[in-house]
């Protein structure tokens, strides 16, 4: 019996009805204050006082009973039971007024009585139909009073009495039918909502599982890739024949191509999960375009393809935009253009149009490459899709780039379109929203923009602690740092790193994140909490975790920078120099 009562009281519709009653309490109180003088005028002080005492005590109890339902906290069966009792009490109090009016025998008050009694049935039908128990508690007394009053006291002729009672019965039946329909509709809607919520949770769980899998896959691939590329870079600096250098360069290019594929997959995953955000800053837009185009000039030149950039004179140099994502979009477009253009030219043009909330940038990349059919263009922006299988075989690639460009363009408030003629070439047009820059000029030089020569000079002959459980990774780091003449001490986990810091003085710590024993996160937390002087040592995370949220987590834990594997020398030097400068500024502020 107890289990049935608990299940009955746990109906969410009871909570919804109670919350609705709480919201209506003030309106009901106003209604009472307006009705009391009317009752006094029409039926006298006795009726007004009798009903006033009943309804005010009922609404006081209702206020107390519905208070727990004004918040999202968990409610007990007792609280639900108290609400149901207060609802019954309130309904009966209003019905009392109708019965008292009917008993006066005055035609006008008897009509008013029917209005009051019917009004309660309408209130129940509209606000208490969510569950069988609320509908029963409110509906049965209201129906009984509406039909019962004319049956018990009938001052009309039999035929008029028949018409009145019959009409009230029909109206009540219709009201119950409507309430039943509302109940069924509400139950179906709640069931559909619950199903959608379950499906949403399943989709979110699948998305989280996919993201976790991709992050793990990326980490596991980047770690050996770091060793492969590091050793390839070391070989490249050896005394090799031209043929051997070409082979090493092929290894390096292939490694970076695999890295680019990993980055594309992770970016697409973040976009689909809604976790990739645009981060606009004030920056030199012209310089951003020139830098990207310069990166592809050697590849185009090797194929005998002319690559040019034209910037409309009316396009402002300084704008507020996300330079990382703009570079990513343009790089993908140029990569495709160079890949699919065997001869001729590639032209990049940029212009701006006025927009209601800033400016709209349009960047076009046209080429004289192989072109595409209209059917191929239609599927061009679908992930993992290329124009046809033969293109995949001839030119390789995942087909991810253009899909990512479209998603990024939409995140930046724009779109990408393509026009192509098979055998003649293609034109891709990227447009997106930007704002006028607040700062029109180069920002102060900071760690992130530090020139490579400055970074190298800042790191010369430093004592560096490298904490990494992977011997190959430690060797790669040692090779990269060799030109700086640094003294390098190695540790295989966080505990060894902390022990070394307590015994020797270091200028910089390079800390891997995933290590057995004490990992990098726990190590940096203990370093920063230490009362010793070495608690302020610059620490750079060396990680195969490429997600932006991972980097943010490491910085929050106390790292001063992060370098993502596979490492390259420029990235490593910049991250280390940034960490040194960051700690220097923090120390200056503390002083």
Amino acid 240: pLDDT: 85
User: Looking at the domain assignment, is residue 220 inside a domain?
Assistant: no
8 Å CB contact between 454 and 470: no
The reported pLDDT for the residue numbered 490 is 94
Q: What is the pTM of this model?
A: 0.55
Lowest mean pLDDT among 209-213, 249-253, 328-332, 409-413: 209-213
- Domain hosting residue 89, numbered range: 2-155
- Please indicate, yes or no, whether residues 508 and 408 belong to a single structural domain of this protein: no
Please count the other Cβ atoms lying within 10 Å of the Cβ belonging to residue 188.
10
Please determine, for residue 396, whether its predicted confidence score (pLDDT) is greater than 50: no
pLDDT tens per residue, range 440-496: 665 544 444 455 667 778 888 899 999 999 899 899 999 999 889 999 999 999 999
Mean of pLDDT values over 499-509? 93
Residue 288 lies in a domain: yes
The candidate with the shortest Cα–Cα distance to 263, out of 217, 206, 224, is 217
Which tens digits make up the pLDDT trace of 518-545? 999 999 999 999 999 899 999 999 988 7
Stronger pLDDT, 136 or 524, i.e. the higher one: 524
pLDDT for the residue numbered 448: 42
Any domain includes 212: no
Query: pLDDT above 70 covers what percent of the chain?
Result: 91
**Token reading at 469:** 């459980």
Tens digit of each residue's pLDDT (9 = 90 or more) over 339-354: 889 889 999 999 999 8
Considering the domain architecture, whether residues 470 and 426 belong to the same structural domain is answered as no
Give the long-range contacts of residues 480-485, CB within 8 A, separation 24 or more.
480/230, 480/233, 480/567, 480/569, 480/572, 481/572, 483/456, 484/456, 484/459, 484/460, 485/460, 485/461
The confidence band for 10, taking pLDDT boundaries of 50, 70 and 90, is low
Average model confidence (pLDDT) for the chain? 84
Note the pLDDT tens digit of each residue in 96-126: 999 999 998 888 999 999 999 998 888 887 7
- DSSP class of residue 535 equals G
pLDDT (0 to 100) of residue 5: 42
State residue 397's pLDDT score.
Answer: 45
pLDDT of residue 318: 92
Residue 246 lies in a domain: no
Q: Let me know whether 345 and 488 are in one domain.
A: no
3-state secondary structure 63-126: HHHHHHHHCCCCCCHHHHHHHHHHHHHHHHHHHHHHHHHHHCCCHHHHHHHHHHHHHHHHHHHH
Q: Is the pLDDT of residue 321 over 80?
A: yes
State the CATH number of the domain containing residue 299. Answer: 3.30.565.10
Q: What is the largest CA-CA distance in the chain?
A: 121
Last residue of a domain, one of 436, 464, 497: 436
C-beta of residue 109 within 8 angstroms of C-beta of residue 149: no
Same domain, 487 and 451: yes
pLDDT of residue 399: 53
Give the mean pLDDT of 548-567. 86
Q: Tell me: do 424 and 286 sit in the same domain.
A: yes
Q: Looking at residue 555, which CATH number applies to its domain?
A: 3.40.50.2300
Q: Is 499 in the same domain as 422? A: no
Question: Using H for helix, E for strand and C for coil, what is the string for 114-162?
Answer: HHHHHHHHHHHHHHCCCCHHHHHHHHHHHHHHHHHHHHHCCCCCHHHHH
Please tell me the least confidently modeled range out of 279-293, 383-397, 491-505, 506-520.
383-397
Q: Is 431 found in the same domain as 290? A: yes
- Looking at per-residue confidence, does 227 or 400 come out higher? 227
Given 106, 126, 155, the domain boundary residue is 155
Query: Same domain for 410 and 503?
Result: no
Say if 316 falls within a structural domain.
Answer: yes
Same domain, 396 and 481: no
Same domain? For 519 and 383 the reply is no
pLDDT of residue 440: 66
* Residue 173 belongs to some domain of the structure: no
Residue 138 or residue 489, greater confidence:
489
| pLDDT at residue number 588 | 73
Instruction: Judge if 8 and 104 occupy the same domain.
Output: yes
Q: Give me the pLDDT at residue 2, please.
A: 42
Task: Determine, yes or no, domain membership for 213.
Answer: no
- pLDDT of 268 > 90? The answer is no
pLDDT at 387 over 70: no
């Amino acid at each position: 019996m107890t289990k049935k009562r608990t299940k009955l009281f746990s109906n969410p519709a009871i909570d919804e009805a109670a919350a609705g009653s709480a919201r209506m309490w003030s309106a009901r109180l106003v209604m009472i204050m307006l009705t009391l003088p009317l009752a006094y005028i029409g039926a006298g002080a006795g009726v007004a006082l009798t009903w006033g005492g009943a309804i005010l005590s009922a609404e006081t109890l209702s206020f107390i009973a519905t208070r727990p339902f004004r918040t999202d906290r968990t409610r007990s069966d007792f609280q639900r039971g108290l609400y149901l009792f207060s609802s019954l009490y309130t309904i009966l109090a209003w019905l009392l007024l109708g019965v008292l009016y009917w008993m006066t025998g005055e035609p006008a008050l008897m009509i008013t009585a029917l209005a009051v009694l019917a009004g309660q049935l309408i209130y129940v039908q509209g606000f208490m139909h969510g569950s069988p128990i609320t509908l029963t508690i409110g509906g049965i007394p209201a129906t009984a009073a509406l039909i019962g009053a004319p049956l018990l006291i009938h001052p009309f002729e039999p035929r008029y009495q028949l018409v009145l009672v019959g009409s009230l019965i029909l109206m009540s039946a219709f009201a119950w039918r409507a309430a039943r329909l509302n109940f069924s509709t509400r139950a179906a809607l709640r069931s559909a909502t619950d199903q959608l919520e379950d499906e949403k949770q399943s989709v979110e769980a699948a998305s989280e599982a996919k993201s976790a899998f991709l992050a793990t896959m990326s980490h596991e691939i980047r770690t050996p890739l770091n060793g492969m590329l590091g050793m390839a870079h070391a070989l490249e600096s050896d005394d090799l024949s031209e043929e051997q250098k070409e082979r090493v360069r092929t290894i390096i290019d292939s490694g970076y191509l695999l890295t680019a594929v990993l980055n594309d997959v992770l970016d697409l995953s973040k976009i689909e999960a809604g976790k990739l955000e645009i981060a606009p800053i004030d920056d030199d837009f012209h310089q951003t375009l020139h830098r990207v185009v310069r990166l592809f000039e050697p590849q185009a030149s090797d194929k005998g393809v002319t690559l040019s950039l034209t910037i409309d004179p009316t396009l402002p140099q300084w704008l507020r935009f996300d330079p990382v994502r703009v570079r990513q979009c343009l790089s993908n477009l140029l990569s495709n253009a160079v890949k699919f253009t065997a001869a001729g030219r590639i032209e990049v043009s940029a212009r701006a149009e006025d927009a209601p909330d800033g400016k709209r940038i349009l960047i076009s990349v046209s080429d004289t490459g192989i072109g595409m059919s209209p059917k191929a263009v239609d599927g061009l922006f679908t992930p993992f899709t290329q124009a046809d299988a033969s293109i995949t075989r001839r030119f390789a690639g995942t087909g991810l780039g253009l899909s990512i460009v479209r998603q990024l363009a939409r995140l930046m408030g724009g779109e990408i379109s393509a026009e192509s003629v098979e055998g003649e070439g293609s034109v891709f047009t990227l447009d997106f929203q930007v704002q006028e820059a607040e700062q029109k000029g180069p920002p102060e030089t900071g760690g992130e923009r530090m020139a490579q020569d400055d970074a190298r000079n800042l790191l010369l002959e430093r004592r560096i602690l490298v904490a990494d459980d992977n011997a190959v990774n430690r060797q790669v780091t040692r090779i990269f740092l060799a030109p700086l003449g640094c003294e390098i001490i190695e540790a295989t986990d966080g505990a060894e790193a902390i022990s070394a810091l307590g015994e020797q003085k270091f200028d910089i710590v390079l800390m891997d994140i995933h290590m057995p024993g004490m990992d990098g996160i726990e190590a940096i937390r203990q370093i920063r909490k230490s009362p010793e002087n070495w608690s302020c040592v610059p620490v750079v995370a060396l990680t195969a975790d490429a997600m932006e949220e991972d980097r943010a987590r490491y910085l929050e834990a106390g790292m001063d920078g992060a370098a993502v594997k596979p490492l390259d020398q420029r990235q490593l030097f910049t991250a280390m120099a940034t960490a040194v400068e960051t700690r220097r500024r923090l120390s200056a502020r503390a002083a």
